[in-house]
Each structure stands twice: as C-alpha cells, then as structure tokens.
A and B are shown apart, each in its own frame.
Chain A
C-alpha cells in the first residue's frame, strides 16, 4: 500500500475536533508529525455529537439494531480503548462492568426479540445471560423492584466521554499540537481555508461530521436528544437499557452522581431544543428504572445531530492530500477505534488496515472521488 504522505515529518491539518478529530490529531502527533487542529466551535465545550453522547461501548446492544460489522468493529473498540486510555494516563475513565437490559412485564417480548436478533447476527455464541429478579437486584440493587427478567451483557463497557475529550485535548497540546477553536474552515486537497485565508498542508484530514457535507452530498444528520441529570439517591454500576416496543432508552452513570439518559433518534436535522414529548419519554424511562430519579436535578438537555451515510455505516475516503472520515451515526465511541486505526494505517502506509471492506468502500450513492 502506498503511503498518502511520504516525508518523515509532515504538517497535517485536522478539521473537526470531535472524537475522531482529537484521536487522529493525537496519534499523528505521537507519530512525530506537526498537527494543526481546527473546529468551528469551542474546544472546551465542543459542539460535537461526542460531547452530547452517553459514551457507551456496547457492541451487542447495538448489533440488534444495526449490522454484524458494527459488532465486529465494536469488539475491536473493547480491545483498543483501554490501551489508548493507558497512553493518555487516564485508565479510570474506562469502566467495563457489562450492561443490563430490562423491560416492563408487558414488554418482555422485546427481550425475546432482542435475543433472537442477537442469535441471528452472531450465531448463538453471544455472551448474554438471562437474569431473574433476584439476579437483577444483585447486579443493580438501586433499580426498581418490578423487573422480573433481564439480560446481562458482561463484556460491554462505557467511558467518561467528556473527561476523555478534555484529556485528549490536553495530550494534543502537550505534544505541541496547534489548536484553533471558533474557527470554521473549508477543506481541500493540501489546503485549509480559514476566515484568515488559505493555508497549505502536506495532508488534510477532515473529521467534521455533518460539517463535511461539501465532500459528502449523501451525508445527513439524525437528531438525538439526551437528558443529563444528577442525584445522589441512586447508584448504578453500569449502563441500563429499558426495552420498549417503540424506543430503547439507556441510562449511563457518570462521575459526580450524574447520569446521561438517551437517546431519541429522529430523522431530522432540527437542532432546536428538546421537545416536551422527548423530555417526557426520557424522563418517564428514568422514573421507571427507579422512582428515586424523581428528585434528580436536570442539569442539561442535549440535542445534536449524528452524522450518517445512507447505510448508517462509517466510511473513509482518500485522495491525494485529503482524507475524510465520517458517518459514525449513533456509534461514535463504539466505532471510532476501528475508523481511526484504519485511517492511521492508511496515512502511515504500513500496518494492518482493519475493516477495509466496510470503511474503504465508497458511501452508497456517492461516486468515488
């Protein structure tokens, strides 16, 4: 495979300081390149979907509602994240306590359907245990007592995503990366146009999500809403997913007695504040999981757009001087390690390039550059 850049040390621009952009910038700096990172928004409270997200790494939960390759890339993430977190000296941000799925007694069919979908995708070898009420209580004592059946997925993990984004920015700065917040850019092969004018680079890596639509006409945003609440009355050790005929909502524990509950999925590029309907759905799911959430304080209502191609799978495109990575949809933390490792192998011109069959394929209905 031919390397995209040939000199030993290059000046590389990364557009978009979301999860992908930060990981790529940090890794390229570690490789010895000079890196300039741009984002249209604030770097400390980024407008990225990764900031709004709950930070789950749940390959099995997500497989049932997507495709087999999402699971495979997710398993790759379960191996990769602990190494990266070790490298930025923040291993405590990673929690691999599994995840728990529960349903109302009248919706137990949803658990059966999930199990069937999982077996269809993975051939019956999925690490997934059925639980009764006593076992659910043993795993999560603070959960409401009405759940008689559940599923435990022991391999799944979650991470403190906001702390991770901050740590990555620190790591980038510590390695000498040049970071520009509040700086919207346009990207071209070997060139970035900022409000101050054009600047040449050896390579431009575009990780801007929905901002990269000029390169991807088929890219769309899918609205997601999350609630951030705080209460010391309840403790959860792992993400809990509530299965329901019309939506799946999950609550993910965060440090400081905080919880993120999400997320709606609406085919719309509307960025306006959360609707009352969504707020009721998210709030009542929380209340169902434990009435103790009733007095939790709502700290934040998050709204963002998930960047997605028509197949809802990520794709990496390359041409001389410009690489784009996009379309992680609802799976940012699950798929970022696979996408970043693929992209870095491409830039380095050596090493295993994982998941090339999916990632290097042209996004559907877009012709190759």
Chain B
C-alpha cells in the first residue's frame, strides 16, 4: 500500500499520482464526462480541436468545461494527416491553452486511424526542437519507438490495438519488447476495451494507460472509469510486487514429504 502511495508517474520531469489518462470525446453529455473524469481520478485529460476551428477559439465553451475539471489539459492533434498539419495545430494549441504539452497524432490510414510513423517522426523532431513536450501516439514498432526516443520524446504512447476497437493488447510480443528495450515512460494508448486489459498492460510494466471509447460508450461511464482506475492500480501493484514466473509443471507450496502417501500419485 505504501509502496503504491509513493509511486508516481514522471513525464518530462513532472510527476503525476494517477497513471490513468482519459479522452474527452464521445460522451453523451458534458455532465456524464465530468462524472467519468471524477470517477477515474485522472490528472490529465486529452482534448481534440482539429474540427473546432481553433483559430477562432470557437470550441471555448467546451474547453472551459475541461479547464474546470482541474485536470491538466493535453491537447492532441487527432485528425491531422501530415506532419505539417500536426505542427501547425500544435502551435495553435500552445497559444490557446498556454501549454507546451502535446499528444502528437499523425494519422496514416483514415479507416482504422493507424498512425503514420514517417510523418509522426518528422513532426516529433520539429516540435521537440520548438520546445514542445511531445507524447507521440505510435504503433508498437520497436525501431519507430527508438527513433522517437532519439528525437527527444521523453515518453511514448504505443497503441494496444487500433483506436476504438476494444481489442486489447493485440501484439504482446512487440509490446513486451518495447518494455524491455526502452527506458522511457510508456503509456498504452488506444484499443483497450476492458479493465482486465488495462491491468495486463500495467502488469507488463507499462507506466500508464490512456483510453476514451471504452469509458465514454459504456452504459454507465462513471462506473467504467472507476473499474479501469481500480484495474490500473491493481496491475501496477502486481508489477511492483513482482509477478511469479509461470511454469509448465505444478510446484506444490508444501513439500510432498509431509503428505500422506496416497496423495503422491495425484489421486
């Protein structure tokens, strides 16, 4: 309990007590969204603005609701299909929200919203040069993640599976490799549908979880947010506690010497 109490997430030299980041799209109303944010206990929420005419500040009525939540706002570049679009939008978000933080998305495929690794790396390099704190939404490709880290990203957000699918951790091998090979904070972003999937990501040693659809589209979003928060805490505790190694053969916790002989044949 105490170990978890002191356990914080550090991103770009700032610490967060919560490892749960929540998206703010798709809720049936702002009230329902506010309830979910409270139940999640998150300290950071993402917001999209590509379609809100950010240059005119026309999304402000909604953004004010997010500011009132007390969470740090993490603007994203969702909907951008090229590095240039994403860079321009990031610059706009820095002015609008007075923050150098940006969740960088460059979409390569319109249907499954798969990140474009080439545009992403290009935009990440440029934005890091301009002093942004970039959290890139990326695939689970090791070399891409290494390049993003080398470009100066101090945290990465690999997907579990494509946005909105709820398929969970689709490629455990690739994710495990990322965890073993990279020493920057890794946040699983996108594709989680069930709290157990979030727990699994945390047990694997990921540093946090970002999700939206699974909570926003639940019949009871606040309850689902609470469920994910508990799963993320449980998974993190499990990771910190150290998971036992799985074995093919049973390994009795009491020595068989102490058992009556008729149990020895497995009867």
Binding site for B on A (CB under 8 A): 65-67, 113, 117, 120-121, 220-221, 223, 245-246, 266-270, 272, 275, 277-278, 308, 310-313, 364
Contact = CB atoms under 8 A, between A and B. Distances in A.
B129 interface: no
Contact of A270 (B29, B31, B58, B164): B58
A8 B164 CA distance: 58
B65 A310 contact: yes
Contacts of A223: 58
B52 A270 contact: yes
Interface string B22-41: 00000011111010000000
B213 to A, nearest CB: 9
Given A267-B61, A270-B58, 11 more contacts: A67-B28, A266-B52, A269-B61, A272-B56, A275-B51, A277-B79, A311-B29, A311-B30, A312-B28, A312-B31, A313-B29
Given A120-B219, A272-B56, A266 B51 contact: yes
A245 B212 CA distance: 13
A270 B51 CA distance: 10
B246 interface: no
B62 interface: yes
Contacts of A266: 51-52
Interface centre among A269, A272, A275, A277 (most CB of B within 10 A): A269
A312 B52 contact: no
Contact of B52 (A245, A267, A364): A267
Interface residues of B, number: 20
Interface in B1-59: 28-32, 34, 51-53, 56, 58-59
A contact face: mostly helix, strand, loop, or mixed: loop
Contacts of B60: 269
Contact of B59 (A66, A267, A313): A267
A65 B218 CA distance: 11
A107 to B, nearest CB: 10
16 contacts: A67-B28, A266-B51, A266-B52, A267-B52, A268-B51, A268-B58, A268-B59, A268-B62, A270-B52, A270-B59, A272-B53, A275-B51, A278-B51, A310-B31, A311-B29, A311-B31
A311 B60 CA distance: 17
Contacts of A308: 29
Interface in B198-234: 217, 219
Given A245-B164, A272-B56, A312-B30, A220 B51 contact: no
Contacts of B53: 268, 270, 272
Contact of B30 (A245, A278, A310): A310
B241 to A, nearest CB: 36
B92 to A, nearest CB: 14
A311 B61 CA distance: 14
Contacts of B30: 310-312
Contact of B62 (A65, A66, A220): A220
A267 B78 CA distance: 14
B29 A310 contact: yes
Contacts of B58: 223, 268-270
Contacts of A65: 28
Interface centre among B51, B60, B217 (most CB of A within 10 A): B51
Nearest to A210: B61
Contacts of B164: 245-246
Contacts of A245: 164
Contacts of B28: 65-67, 312
A155 B223 CA distance: 32
